[in-house]
Amino acid sequence: MKRFLSTLAFLCLATGVLAATKINVTTNAFGTYDFKDKHFYIIPGSPAIDPKDTEFKDYANHVASMFRTVGAIEVSDPAMAEVCVLVDYLITSDSYTEQIPVPIRKAVGSVTTTQLASDQLQGRTYHGNHYTTGDYKAIVAHKTIYETVGYKTEERQVDGYRRILNVYAYDNVDNDGEPDMLWKCNMMSFGSRSNLNSIIPVMTYLNLFSPGKRIVEHKSWVNDEYGWALYEAYSNVMRDYAWSFFPGRKVENNAWVYFVTKKRGELTVICRQAGPGKRVVTKDTYLVMNGETYPIASVDHIKMDRTERVKKDENLYYTMTFLGVPDDVKVFDIVCPEKFTWKNIPLQ
């Protein structure tokens, strides 16, 4: 699982090291359509976008992930597709120069205060059973009074960019006249980043399971532990892993399984332990399927055999990875002896 984190470095997912970054996305989607089992292919939605451009290919792959989560099947041959998906993206600058007023201050008077204090300069004298600290004296303090007599102006450059991703799905079967639009989705994010390659992945991630639905939503993604857990699962979906559970299934008190990913015998479970509570994963933990057991191979974001205590209103995200699991796995159990047993976890 660690190898996925390196691919997400551009999103600052090194949890616990970098400050969290928040990205806001507004989504407006129109039309309803069932894309399940429909074949689709993706082409640019603007003549200014080269279909051979690697940037377009990367963004198209993220858009394809949205459609895969609703059961659509991507193909490269347009003749095999029932749906044609067009992708258009752009970025506009809303930067401006802010005029900041700064007050000009002038001294207009002063205030004098007097108070009594022990004269420590004379020291303390020991008299066998008590101390004396000397006489008291007056301390005079002077405070200057200022008044605002005018203003001057300083300039500050404020960088702001509007990042836009538009997705259009058309009927690719009915050739009688112009094709019908089946669904469209407009995604917009405003922020200080002037590049799309760190924004479009978040846009599509926040709109998993959206194709075919009418949507008016404002969502946010923060690269904290929660963001790491779900985005790491999303990165697995992007790599055609088998997956299930979004956004989560409760397996016991204050514990959830968020995603299960599977490929080439490696099965990883992404979990959340909510507080108040505690979690320990021991080296004796194992996965059970069809009566066969598969020992745990590694854990991430938690140390093996060490109890992690989670405070109220906190969450602990961690992963457990098992090796040698058969490719035909459908349902399994996870057992941590004397700690917990999670029953009947399905893998779609």
Comparing CA positions, the residue from 199, 190, 246 lying closest to residue 223 is 199
Predicted pLDDT of residue 202: 85
Mean predicted confidence (pLDDT) in 211-238: 71
Q: What is the mean pLDDT of the chain?
A: 80
Give the model's pLDDT for residue 149. Answer: 84
Q: Which domains does the chain have, with CATH numbers?
A: 22-93+161-222 (3.30.160.670), 97-156 (no CATH), 242-346 (2.60.40)
Q: What is the pLDDT of residues 14-30, one digit of tens each?
A: 333 334 578 889 999 99
**pLDDT tens-digit profile of 258-272?**
667 777 678 888 788
Residues linked to residue 109 through DSSP beta bridges, in sequence order: 145
When pLDDT is averaged across residues 71-92 and rounded to a whole number, the result is 94
| Predicted confidence band of residue 13 (pLDDT cuts 50, 70, 90) | very low
Contacts of 272 (CB under 8 A, 6+ apart): 226, 229, 248, 255, 256, 258, 315, 316, 317
* pLDDT level of residue 288 (50, 70, 90 thresholds): very high
DSSP code of 193? Answer: -
Mean of pLDDT values over 92-117: 80
295 has a pLDDT exceeding 80: yes
pLDDT at 80 over 50: yes
Q: How confident is the model at residue 109 (pLDDT cuts 50, 70, 90)?
A: confident
pTM: 0.58
pLDDT of 140 higher than 90? no
Q: Of 87-96, 215-224, 240-249, 267-276, which range is least confident? A: 240-249
pLDDT in tens, 161-220: 999 999 999 999 876 778 899 999 999 999 888 888 888 888 988 887 799 999 999 988
Of the candidates 303, 297, 263, 298, the residue with the CA atom closest to the CA atom of residue 279: 303
Summarize the confidence of residues 228-238 as an average pLDDT.
Answer: 57
pLDDT at 251: 83
